[in-house]
Amino acid sequence: MEDHHLSKEQLYQLFAKLASALANPHRLEMLDLLIQAPRTVEDLAQEAHMGIANTSQHLQRLKQANLVVDERQGLFIRYRLADPAVARLWHELRGVAELQLAEVDRALGDYRPRRHDFPKISVDELQERMGKQGVLLLDVRPAVEFQAGHLPGAVSIPLDQLEQRLGELPQGKLIVAYCRGPYCVFADQALELLAGQGRNVARLEEGVAEWRFAGNPLER
């Protein structure tokens, strides 16, 4: 009976190993970034505003838990999620946190202070209106993320290029901006700029992960 209990404890220790790898805000941010596109250590360090050595240490913890894998491409080593289930795990963790922790909504309000300032459009409404023209879907994530996968029909103008490329956007259309999902501020900043230019705008809260979880295909 004691051996049986020890075996069960070993099983739960493996689950705890996975949970321990997730129990760090920097590593969760890295998973969120890798959902968008594979990246090198240097890319992740720049996006997460961390040192390369620290970033590498966090990636090794994620790799030891089989949450990410690395692949050599020429001179570079890129990291990606080990399985789509890792993205679903992160998505479910966020959902539980939203339900159980009131602080999540307050923290999101601090991070996205203008999240209620612009009209929102649902996935169903977007798909219906895209079929009837009159809508431009704007992806304001970095170009590498757009190339890895984007919503069908989307046009890529990264946020840091938007002000210089406003002339590329047609007049008279509803411009729907999206980025990495509901925990990303890029689309809010894009809509603030566009609304200041008198454009008709709306935000799609969902990003590529949420789009895919709903069973919709991506373009590459």
User: Which of helix, strand or coil describes residue 137?
Assistant: strand
Q: Which helix (H) or strand (E) holds 71?
A: strand 68-73
Measuring CA to CA, which residue among 111, 117, 167, 161 is closest to residue 139? Answer: 161
User: Which of helix, strand or coil describes residue 188?
Assistant: helix
Q: Which of 179, 201, 204, 208 is catalytic?
A: 179
How far apart are alpha carbons 130 and 169 in whole angstroms?
Answer: 16
- Site of tokens 């690395």: 70
Measuring CA to CA, which residue among 188, 191, 193 is closest to residue 201? Answer: 191
Tell me how crowded residue 104 is: count the other CB atoms within 10 A of its CB: 15
Active site residue 179: yes
Q: Which helix (H) or strand (E) holds 68?
A: strand 68-73
User: Hey, which residues does 71 pair with through a beta bridge?
Assistant: 78
CB 181 within 8 A of CB 140: no
How far apart are alpha carbons 121 and 18 in whole angstroms?
Answer: 36
User: Which tokens in the block code for residue 87?
Assistant: 């993205």
Tell me the residue type at 5: H
| Residues with active-site annotation | 179
